[in-house]
């Protein structure tokens, strides 16, 4: 590791998916193989006990980074390095990240009772001894996420969408992880429960030193949670900085536009300006800087040469020819 | 269907789940109307009964759930007493549904294009090629880049937000009169959210479709809905014009809801939260369901159940506005 303070170091991470049509169709229609670069040369670090947020528009590669970090996808290129775990049975081995999924439906086994779903990691890691202690821990976790201990006996389909999301949060907390990857953990939750969960996550961070990789499209939530923010565009990180520095002084044109489009309940804007131009397809990424077709500042060289990631004025990194 | 009949009328709807430990009342005396060309927002805490209301309207309550009382009319036609087969026809002809969980509406074994063209051909006399062209157009409208190639991909090859948009395209494919949209934009960033809500508003204006927009996102409500209904513990507790309910909420619960929105301004140590939790269905207290958490509650709140009472600007179910709490 580059520094003992780092919990996670990600280096030049790339993931390519083969999205070719089935072989036979390809032969008949004479179509070439097609590849989709979901994540490209992504580098970042997360300090112990801190929260790094990934933001960026739908399809830019946030969940793919999350799945790479948690080992659900293998990287096509690049390295992912976790610091040694400090507690539990795994102490000394690399930390294992737990994940809260964007889609709770996909992560909860419909045939299991909620109590068993939450108890599974407790049993697997041997975190409590005996059925009674395990049941007590499950009850405690259910209360923590605003559900009731009685809910342990019910099945996932008997819950509302937001309640299911909380079940998956309880399950992730059950394994007492040191590193938590949260993919849109509160997007299915109403503001009141969202506030409860975000307050809880901050508290766990302070008390247990939990480290987070946090994904959300809600910039207000991100600002509340994150110490640093990495902005992604079409598979790459285009700007990375401390949260307040990024909000105060966004230097990449995409970050600037992103911050302008935040809706505000106090002054709703029914004719919101959409970000100019269409999001590009990762199947045919634009040449040069991937943002150039939509960038208000695009200059000639932006169309031909891709900007390098370099040091950002005021700390962090930025990838834009024209940034200061 | 004449232009005066509302797209949806729900009157006194109650939904029950018989269980081993007795009957759970999931919805109690829910009444709401969606006019043609109108977007009605439905908000409320997780578990309040928003999705359940949508499912009851669609005739898709999960057994043993059942409608215990009330009436539902879609485009003037009574639908709560229809057989499953008849209801399926109504759903197919008139209603587009966007479910909270996009994976439940998509079949993992078929490409997105196969699913879209099938729905389009079911609802129109387009041939295969025309249906495919229409499907690509819909995917473009919901903002899927590279739609003409993406159409042949399978659901798992899309990102979470893209899947959600594919479901929206699927719901619009049949050109419905009533759209039930359950958290259609939760996983979407603001720019695409704006594109989707603009699309919904256009459908309302141009085709006179009515939209029941279920969401917990007040920002979306503020920018999209015409009126809003607030639900709590299976009941509608406040209804009114969006500006009224957001800026001058009358019900103490609605006021609390407005206070817990993370503001964009400086980071606060803790977000305001309404203390306590919404009661579970088997433990709804007598009187006003909100009384254990309400700072304005009085003795009467523990005995009298407030009814939804109309006032000049909407309706509210709170004793403060109906005879006092003492
Ligand atoms: N298993 C897969 N096979 C093929 N393509 C994939 C796969 N998973 C993701 N992709 C593609 O990779 C790109 C990035 O997807 P990803 O899910 O990481 O986006 P995201 O940033 O999480 O978006 P959202 O905010 O919509 O969830 C998308 O174009 C998506 O279609
Ligand atoms: N099949 C079922 N059996 C028993 N109870 C159920 C069933 N389905 C839902 N419920 C309960 O009914 C209540 C209302 O659920 P509903 O899905 O309508 O909530 P919601 O308002 O949509 O919440 P969310 O914002 O979390 O999606 C919840 O308390 C839920 O636990
Ligand atoms: S490199 Fe050029 S096109 Fe890309 S963001 Fe900077 S100014 Fe815009
Ligand atoms: S009726 Fe009473 S308890 Fe209920 S919201 Fe009004 S004041 Fe509060
Ligand atoms: Mg995602
Ligand atoms: Mg719901």
Q: Domain containing A216 — which CATH number?
A: 3.40.50.300
Which candidate from A157, A190, A282 shows the least CB-CB separation from B44?
Answer: A190
Task: Supply the pLDDT for residue A277.
Answer: 67
Task: Spell out which residues of chain B touch residue A56, defining contact as CB-CB under 8 Å.
Answer: 189
- What residues of B are in contact with residue A258 (Cβ under 8 Å)? 191
- Domain-embedded: residue A20: yes
More confident site: B261 or B131: B131
- Count how many pairs of residues, chain A against chain B, have C-beta atoms within 8 Å: 185
Contacts of A193 in chain B (CB under 8 A): 45-46
**Which of A104, A166, A221 has its CB closest to that of B262?**
A221
CB of B22 within 8 Å of a chain A CB? The answer is: no
* Region B199-206 average pLDDT: 84
Distance of alpha carbon B150 from alpha carbon B167, whole angstroms = 14
Q: Flag the least confident range among A113-127, A161-175, B91-105, B271-285.
A: B271-285
Pocket flag, ligand 2, residue A160 (CB < 6 Å): yes
Percent of chain A residues topping a pLDDT of 70: 92
Domain count, chain B: 1
Better pLDDT: B278 or A248:
A248
**CATH number, domain at B62?**
3.40.50.300
What pLDDT is stored for residue B203 in this prediction?
Answer: 82
Residue B100 domain boundaries: 8-232
Distances (CA, A) of A177 to A53, A196, A283, B27, B205: 18, 20, 36, 38, 50
Average of per-residue pLDDT across A243-257: 95
Q: Examine residue B284 and state whether it is found in any structural domain, yes or no.
A: no
Predicted pLDDT of residue B268: 55
Which residues are within 8 A (CB) of A43 and not within 5 positions of it... i.e. 6 or more apart?
A: A10, A11, A12, A13, A237, A309
Percent of chain A residues topping a pLDDT of 90: 59
Please name which ligand lies nearest the alpha carbon of B306: 4
pTM over 0.90, yes/no: no
A102 against B270, higher pLDDT: A102
Per-residue pLDDT of B226-274, as tens digits, reads 999 999 999 999 999 999 998 899 999 998 887 666 555 445 555 566 6
Residue A49 lies in a domain: yes
**Starting at the edge strand that comes first in sequence, how are the strands of the sheet with A236-242 ordered?**
A97-100, A179-183, A211-215, A51-55, A228-233, A236-242, A317-318, A310-311
pLDDT of residue B266: 44
The pLDDT of residue A266 is 55
Cα–Cα distance measured from residue B49 to residue B250, given in angstroms and rounded to the nearest whole number: 21
Output the average pLDDT for chain B.
88
Does residue A251 carry a pLDDT above 90?
Answer: yes
Contact B103 A103 (CB under 8 A): yes
CB contact under 8 A, A199 and B271: yes
Query: Whose CA is closest to A118, among A96, A92, A138?
Result: A138
Higher per-residue pLDDT: A20 or B113: B113
Q: Which of B15, B109, B216 best probes binding to A when mutated, by most A CB atoms within 10 angstroms? A: B216
Indicate if ligand 4 lies below 6 Å from the C-beta of B230: no
The pLDDT value given to residue A271:
54
What is the tens place of the pLDDT at every residue in A183-215?
988 776 766 677 778 888 888 888 888 999 999
Q: Best interface-test mutation with A: which of B46, B244, B245 has the largest number of A CBs within 10 A?
A: B46
Kindly list the distances between the CA atom of residue B281 and the CA atoms of A154, B77, B96, B100, B112, in Å, as whole numbers in the listed order: 13, 31, 29, 21, 38
Number of domains in chain A: 1
How confident is the prediction for chain A on average, in pLDDT? 89
On the question of pLDDT at B157 being above 90, the answer is yes
Summarised one tens digit per residue, pLDDT across range A253-267 is: 999 988 886 655 555
Residue A230 has pLDDT above 80, yes or no: yes
Interface of A with B in 145-174 (CB under 8 A): 146, 148, 150, 157, 159-163, 165-166
Rounded mean pLDDT, A108-117 = 93
* A293-320 per-position pLDDT tens digit: 999 999 999 999 999 999 999 999 999 9
Distance A187 CA to ligand 5 centre (A): 11
B19 domain-assigned: yes
Please say if the pLDDT value at position B33 is more than 90.
yes
Tell me what percent of the residues of chain B surpass a pLDDT of 70. Answer: 94
Does residue A222 carry a pLDDT above 60? yes
- What pLDDT is attached to residue A275? 60
Residue B296 lies in a domain: no
For residue B2, the model assigns a pLDDT of 53
How much is the average pLDDT of B273-282? 75
A118 within domain boundaries: no
DSSP A159-226: S-HHHHHHHHHHHHHHT--SEEEEESTTTTS-HHHHHHHHHHHHHHHHHH--EEEEE-S-HHHHHHH-
Cα angle: B113, vertex B116, B118; to 5 degrees: 105
Quote the Cα angle for B217-B220-B224, to 5°: 145
* The most confident of A275-279, A312-316, B42-46, by mean pLDDT: A312-316
3-state helix vs strand vs coil in chain A, percent to 5 = 35, 20, 45
Give the separation between CA B289 and CA B235, rounded to whole angstroms.
9
The answer as to whether B300 is a domain residue is no
pLDDT at B184: 85
List the single residue in A148, A199, A264 with the smallest CB-CB distance to B273.
A199
- Supply the pLDDT for residue B269: 57
Peptide bond into B64 cis (omega under 30): yes
Q: Which ligand is nearest the CA of A283, by number?
A: 1
Q: pLDDT tens for residues B207-220?
A: 889 999 998 777 78
Which of A58, A106, A264 is nearest residue B192 as measured by Cβ atoms? A58
Could you tell me if residue A137 is inside a domain? no
Confidence of residue A144 (pLDDT cuts 50, 70, 90): confident
Task: Give the lowest-confidence range in B6-10, B45-49, B77-81.
Answer: B45-49
Closest by CA to A74, choosing from A82, A64, A84, is A64
Q: Are the C-beta atoms of residues B112 and B166 closer than 8 Å to each other?
A: yes
Atom of ligand 1 minimally distant from the CA of B163: 26
- Annotate B280-303 with b (16+ C-beta within 10 A) or e (fewer): ebeebeebbbbbbbbeebeebbee
Show the domain range for A89: 6-96+177-318
Residue B25 has pLDDT above 50, yes or no: yes
In a domain, A101, yes or no: no
């Amino acid at each position: 590791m580059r520094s003992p303070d780092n919990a996670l170091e990600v280096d030049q991470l790339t993931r390519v998916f083969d999205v070719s049509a089935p072989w036979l169709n390809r032969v008949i229609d004479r179509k070439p193989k097609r590849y989709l670069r979901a994540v490209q040369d992504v580098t970042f670090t997360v300090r112990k006990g801190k929260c790094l947020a990934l933001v960026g528009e739908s399809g830019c590669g946030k969940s793919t980074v999350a799945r790479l970090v948690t080992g659900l996808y293998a990287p096509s290129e690049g390295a992912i390095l976790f610091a040694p775990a400090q507690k539990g049975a795994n102490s000394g081995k690399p930390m294992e990240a737990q994940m809260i999924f964007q889609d709770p439906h996909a992560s909860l086994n419909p045939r299991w009772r909620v109590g068993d779903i939450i108890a599974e990691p407790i049993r697997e890691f041997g975190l409590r001894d005996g059925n009674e202690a395990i049941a007590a821990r499950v009850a405690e976790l259910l209360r923590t996420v605003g559900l009731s201990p009685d809910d342990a006996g019910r099945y996932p389909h008997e819950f509302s969408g937001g309640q299911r999301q909380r079940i998956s949060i309880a399950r992730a907390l059950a394994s007492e992880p040191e590193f938590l990857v949260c993919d849109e953990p509160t997007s299915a939750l109403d503001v009141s429960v969202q506030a409860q969960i975000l307050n809880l996550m901050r508290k766990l961070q302070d008390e247990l030193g939990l480290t987070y990789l946090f994904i959300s499209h809600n910039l207000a939530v991100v600002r509340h949670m994150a110490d640093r923010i990495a902005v992604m565009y079409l598979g790459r990180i285009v700007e990375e900085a401390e949260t307040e520095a990024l909000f105060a002084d966004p230097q990449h044109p995409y970050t600037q536009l992103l911050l302008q489009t935040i809706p505000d309940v106090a002054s709703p804007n029914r004719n919101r300006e959409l970000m100019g131009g269409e999001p590009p397809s990762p199947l045919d990424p634009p040449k040069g800087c991937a943002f150039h077709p939509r960038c208000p500042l695009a200059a000639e060289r932006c169309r031909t040469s891709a900007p390098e990631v370099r040091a950002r004025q005021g700390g962090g990194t930025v990838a834009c020819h024209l940034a200061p | 269907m004449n232009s005066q009949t509302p797209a949806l009328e729900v009157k006194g709807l109650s939904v029950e789940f018989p269980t081993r430990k007795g009957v759970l009342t999931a919805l109690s005396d829910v009444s709401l109307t969606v006019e043609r060309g109108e977007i009605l927002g439905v908000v409320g805490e997780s578990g309040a009964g928003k999705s359940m209301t949508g499912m009851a309207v669609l005739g898709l309550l999960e057994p043993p759930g059942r409608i215990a009382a009330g009436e539902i009319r879609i485009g003037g036609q009574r639908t709560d007493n229809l057989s499953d087969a008849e209801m399926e026809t109504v759903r197919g002809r008139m209603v587009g549904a966007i479910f909270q969980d996009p994976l439940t509406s998509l079949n993992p074994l078929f490409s997105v294009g196969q699913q879209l063209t099938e729905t389009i051909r079911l609802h129109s006399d387009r041939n295969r090629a025309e249906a495919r062209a229409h499907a690509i157009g819909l995917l473009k409208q919901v903002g899927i880049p590279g739609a003409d190639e993406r159409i042949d991909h399978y659901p798992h090859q899309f990102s979470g937000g893209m899947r959600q948009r594919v479901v929206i395209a699927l719901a619009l494919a049949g050109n419905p009169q009533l759209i039930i949209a359950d958290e259609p934009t939760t996983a979407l960033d603001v720019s695409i959210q704006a594109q989707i809500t603009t699309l919904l508003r256009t459908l309302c204006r141009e085709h006179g479709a009515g939209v029941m927009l279920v969401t917990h996102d007040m920002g979306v409500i503020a920018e999209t809905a015409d009126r809003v209904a607030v639900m709590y513990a299976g009941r509608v507790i406040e209804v009114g014009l969006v500006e009224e309910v957001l800026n001058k909420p009358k019900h103490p619960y609605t006021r609390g809801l407005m206070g817990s929105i993370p503001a964009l301004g400086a980071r606060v140590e803790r977000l305001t939260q309404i203390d306590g939790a919404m009661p579970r269905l088997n433990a709804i207290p007598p009187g006003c369901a909100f009384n254990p958490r309400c700072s304005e509650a009085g003795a009467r709140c523990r005995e009298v159940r407030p009814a939804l009472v109309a006032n000049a600007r909407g309706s509210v179910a709170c004793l403060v506005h109906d005879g006092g709490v003492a």
